[in-house]
Structures are given as C-alpha cells and as structure tokens.
Amino acid sequence: MKITIKDIARLAGVSTTTVSKVINNKDESISQATRERITSLMKEYNYTPSTVARSLVTKKTNTIGLIIPDIRNPFFPELARGVEDRANSAGYNIIFCNTDNKIDKEDEYLRILAEKMVDGIIMAPSSKREDRLDKTKNYFVPVILVDRDIDIETDYVKGRVFTDNFKGAHDAVKYMINQGLRRILFISGPLTSKASIERLEGYKSALKESNIEYEAGCVLEGEFNETWGREAAIAAVDNKIEFDGIFCGNDLIAIGAVKSLKEKGLSVPKDISVVGFDDIYVSRLIEPELTTVRQPKYEMGFEAVEMLLKILEGKRVSETRLVLQPELIIRDSVRQA
C-alpha cells in the first residue's frame, strides 16, 4: 500500500502542514530535529511527494516545455542538450515536443504545455509561422524564443536568443568573393522565416560591398532540408544558370547540393564552391568537408533557459534579446584563390 503524507505526519508525530513545509522547503520555523525526523521517515518508507500536490502549494511544477520543429534536423539535438543541461542543473525537468514544422501542431503543444502547468516554454518556432503567435495570449506561461524570431508583441514572449544571421551570411559570402567567386547562388530555406530573410540580407550586403549586382534569379527558395538542396542544385544546372558558388541556408541544403553537383559530374570545389550554415556534425563527415557558418547551438539552448530562470525567479533581466555571434569555419568546399 502506498504511503501518504498523512502517514508520514502520523509517524513523525506532526501535522500534515509541517510535513508539507519540509517537502516544499518552507521549513524555516521548524526545528532541525523535526526536519530530520520527517526526511528520515520519507527516505525509510520511500515516500515520493505528489508533483501535482506540490505544485498547488508552490505554484511551480519545476518543468519547462521545449518546442522544436524537427528533431531529425541535426541542428536541434545540440540546442536541446543545452536546454536540458541548464534546466537539470537548476532542478527542472523538460517536456520535449516535436512539431514537424507544422504551425497547428505547434499551437496545440503550446496549449497542452500550458494545461500541464509548465513553469515556462523554450520554443524554436516553425519556419512557416511568420508573425502569428496569437494563441499564447490565453496562456500565462513565459515563452523564450530561440533560433527563429517572430516579430510580434505579446506579454508572454519574455525573451529571445538568436545567432546574428546577417553577419554569418555576410561573412560567408564575403569569404567566397575573396576567393575569386563572382556568380554565387543563394539556396535558401523559406523566406517566411526571419532567419532566412536575415541571411538573404547578409548575402545581398556582401555582394554590394564587392560591387557585384544582386540578381533575384540567383535566389532559390525552398525548405531547410537535404531534398531541397538536391532539387535546387539540379534545377540550377539543368536550367543552365551560370554560377561558380552556392551559399546555402543551412548545412542540410548544402549537403544535398554537393551530392547533386557530383551526380552532374561537377567537382566541389574545383568547379563549384559550396558553403553551408549551422555547422552540424555531418558537415565534417562529407567529402569534401563543408565550409560553413557555425551557430553556437548548445549555448543558444543554455542561455535561453538561463534567461527563463531569471524571469521565473523574479530577477531583473538586463537583455531580453540576446544575439550570439556566429563563426565562419573554413574547410575544403571552397576553392582557394
């Protein structure tokens, strides 16, 4: 038979209120001897407090929801690990939600997490969401956005943690230009995503600085996956678009593009140079190893939880929009001048 808080109180010779105070660390007025007697009995009888009951007293569940678009994308496991490590170190558990990059599924998870009384939510929004986050207006749960931003004013989005996408794209394309490349395609993810838009602006800026005319036809918009990279590169070759380099919206796109170029008999980087974005672990395993923009993925997740914890503890957050700096990682997929 499962032991209850009433049983612990009876065995300790105290009230259930006293046991509850010990469980919830509100035992300042309780003697050390009484506290030790209660905790000893709890250990002896393997008593586990009800998380629901504790939450009714503390108004906390010590649980954080993590919403990401697609765990199959190698970018997100490292971000998720950063979230988990910082949350666990503060005594919080994680409820993981994978949306398959679907807005309706994302909205449903927001509702479910609020109903489960999570203390806060870390969310990487769908790349298709644009600026719609209306349903969070009904939930009194602080939300921290990571990786993908949304231009929306709501009381419940309390912070944002991102990489400087503009700088990452600008530095990557500038590097390609400095290696003598002049016809650089941009194979992008959805341009409904703010990250994609910022990377496009960085691409444009690097071209402008080098007096290279921007051509809308050199921008191919699709999805953040390998299939799109393959399709876009094949289309570019088959349509006889002139290009000597490809800057990609992420590493999965770049990996798909490299495969297609090889199938078309083109050499990377001798004939076509390719640069990715993210620096997922697979980018070091392909041939040639991929030059890419490294996002601080682990740090992004870690810092998002750090920001959320300060909010939950009522501390002042000096910066609710944290922009982390990318790093260009030079490998073998760009020909050298």
Does 217 lie in the same domain as 237? Answer: yes
Count CB atoms within 10 A of the CB of residue 44: 11
Does 106 lie in the same domain as 10? Answer: no
Does 301 lie in the same domain as 276? Answer: no
Does 287 lie in the same domain as 176? Answer: yes
pLDDT, tens only, 147-164: 987 766 567 788 999 999
Q: H helices within 45-162, ranges in order?
A: 51-58, 75-89, 103-115
* 100 located within any domain: yes
Q: Tell me the β-bridge partners of 293.
A: 277, 328
* 331 located within any domain: no
* 26 located within any domain: yes
Instruction: Cite the beta strand spans of the chain per DSSP E.
Output: 63-68, 93-98, 120-123, 143-146, 157-163, 184-188, 219-221, 245-248, 273-278, 291-294, 321-324, 327-329
Rounded to an integer, the average pLDDT of 95-109 is 91
pLDDT, tens only, 40-66: 888 888 877 766 555 555 567 889 999
**Which residue type sits at 134?**
D
Does 149 lie in the same domain as 269? Answer: no
Residue 173 pLDDT > 50: yes
Report CA-CA distances (Å) from 322 to 153, 306, 317, 325: 17, 11, 11, 10
**CATH code, domain carrying 50:** 1.10.260.40
Report CA-CA distances (Å) from 11 to 37, 42, 256, 334: 9, 10, 66, 73
* 334 located within any domain: no
Q: What is the 3-state secondary structure (H, E, C) of 248-308?
A: ECCHHHHHHHHHHHHHCCCCCCCCCEEEEEECCHHHHCCCCCCEEEECCHHHHHHHHHHHH
Domain limit, last residue, from 14, 40, 58: 58
pLDDT, tens only, 185-227: 999 999 988 899 999 999 999 999 999 999 999 999 999 999 9
DSSP letter at 160 equals E
Rounded to an integer, the average pLDDT of 90-113 is 92
Domain that holds residue 228: 165-294
**Which residue type sits at 218?**
C
* Interstrand relation of 143-146 and 184-188 (parallel, antiparallel or unpaired): unpaired
Count CB atoms within 10 A of the CB of residue 237: 17
Does 175 lie in the same domain as 28? Answer: no
* 87 located within any domain: yes
**CATH code, domain carrying 315:** 3.40.50.2300
Domain limit, last residue, from 14, 37, 58: 58
Rounded to an integer, the average pLDDT of 107-131 is 85
* 332 located within any domain: no
Does 68 lie in the same domain as 181? Answer: no
DSSP letter at 6 equals H
Does 169 lie in the same domain as 284? Answer: yes
DSSP letter at 326 equals P
Q: How far apart are CA 104 and CA 124, in angstroms?
A: 14
Does 194 lie in the same domain as 178? Answer: yes
Task: Please state, rounded to an integer, the average pLDDT across all residues of the chain.
Answer: 90
Report CA-CA distances (Å) from 99 to 70, 79, 127: 6, 16, 11
Does 273 lie in the same domain as 176? Answer: yes
Count CB atoms within 10 A of the CB of residue 213: 7
Please give the share of the chain, as a percent, with pLDDT higher than 90. Answer: 65
Q: For the CA atoms of the chain, what is the radius of gyration?
A: 25
* Interstrand relation of 157-163 and 321-324 (parallel, antiparallel or unpaired): parallel
Does 265 lie in the same domain as 160? Answer: no
Does 34 lie in the same domain as 14? Answer: yes
Length of the chain: 337
Question: How many structural domains does the chain have?
Answer: 3
* 245 located within any domain: yes
Q: Please tell me the predicted confidence (pLDDT) of residue 5.
A: 83
* 337 located within any domain: no
